[in-house]
Amino acid sequence: MDSEKSSGRRRCVSIWRKIRERGLTPANVISYGCLRIMQDGGRLLGTLRLLGKAAFLGVRVGPGVRAHGPVGLMRWPGSRIEIGAGCSFISSWRRATAATVLAPCRLRTFGPEARIVLGEGCELTGAALTARSTSITLGRQVMLAPNCIIVDSDFHAPWPPERRSLDPGLEHDAPVSIGDHAWLGMGCMVLKGVSIGHGAIIGAGSVVTRDVPPLCVAAGAPARVVRQLTPCEAAGLCVPPEEGLREAVDVGHAANVQSGGDMAARDGMAGE
């Protein structure tokens, strides 16, 4: 007991010294304290809610999974949702950094054959994954920036037009696969039947309608390859040049303007 008290005193003294050394005002100290309480409390509560909901719904969750805020889980009977070890879900504006979170993370299956599998160490921020009749698979350490959407279906048959609202078009569904260490920027949409290679970077606001090769930067609507990562970048030995990433953003914006935001670049538009 005495050792615990001594350790607590030393920690308090250390914190006080840091405050004085950095010249922090009381307002700064209070602001930082409130921020830590909100973040740590939100993570604890969100993780407990996720684990409880997963156990109740039969969702497999690996060790070390964390959730900041609520996570929506909806598993159709007979379908499968698996969350790998060390995955992180950010569903709260208190934890999101560069953008607000429009809605909590959501994993949803719509049929007994559907499955969603997240590899180890994936990071999702306000992302929605919906598998209707096939699969959505994320490799290890895939990063989804705020408000990404991934679907395996158009949810309506594109033809004939007069039957779109009635025909679910199940025969058109196709699986989605995203390789290890891929990174999807803010507001990306990945449509059915797409395979994104390992290490690929998808620019913010892109609509991915066709396969993306490994170790490249792709952007636009529909997304197109802007450039390949250099061997140095691919090996993680150097930082990608800022000019290359800026080029991806510029090309993506130009493609969005040119296409008029048309997301029906293939045989149908995804939407419910």
The whole-angstrom distance between residue 167's C-alpha and the CA centroid of its chain comes to 30
- Contact by Cβ (8 Å): 204, 185: yes
Domains of the chain: 2-196 (2.160.10)
pLDDT greater than 80 at residue 12: no
Structure confidence at residue 272 (pLDDT): 44
Annotated active-site residue 172? The verdict is: no
**Per annotation, catalytic residue among 156, 172, 198, 253:** 156
More confident residue, 95 or 106: 106
- Tokens 């609509």: give the residue: 207
Predicted TM-score (pTM) of this structure: 0.77
Between the CA of residue 157 and those of 41, 166, 170, 191, 194, what are the distances in Å? 45, 8, 8, 14, 18
Structure confidence at residue 263 (pLDDT): 40
> Over the stretch 121-160, which tens digit does the pLDDT of each residue have?
999 999 999 999 999 999 999 999 999 999 999 999 888 8
Structure confidence at residue 90 (pLDDT): 93
Structure confidence at residue 260 (pLDDT): 46
Cα separation, 242 vs 248, whole angstroms: 10
Structure confidence at residue 237 (pLDDT): 53
Mark out the alpha helices in the chain (DSSP H runs).
2-22, 26-57, 231-234, 242-259
pLDDT greater than 90 at residue 97: no
> Over the stretch 210-266, which tens digit does the pLDDT of each residue have?
999 999 999 999 999 999 988 877 777 565 555 545 555 554 554 454 444 444 344
Structure confidence at residue 240 (pLDDT): 52
Cα separation, 149 vs 190, whole angstroms: 6
pLDDT greater than 90 at residue 193: yes
pLDDT greater than 50 at residue 13: yes
At residue 26, the 3 state secondary structure works out as: helix
Structure confidence at residue 115 (pLDDT): 98
- Contact by Cβ (8 Å): 132, 153: yes
The whole-angstrom distance between residue 252's C-alpha and the CA centroid of its chain comes to 19
Question: Which of these, 120, 111, 112, 113, lies nearest to 60 by C-alpha position?
Answer: 120
**What is the per-residue DSSP string for 169-184?**
-GGG---EEE-TT-EE
Structure confidence at residue 271 (pLDDT): 43
> Over the stretch 31-74, which tens digit does the pLDDT of each residue have?
777 767 777 777 889 999 999 999 999 999 999 999 999 999 99
Which amino acid, 113?
A: E
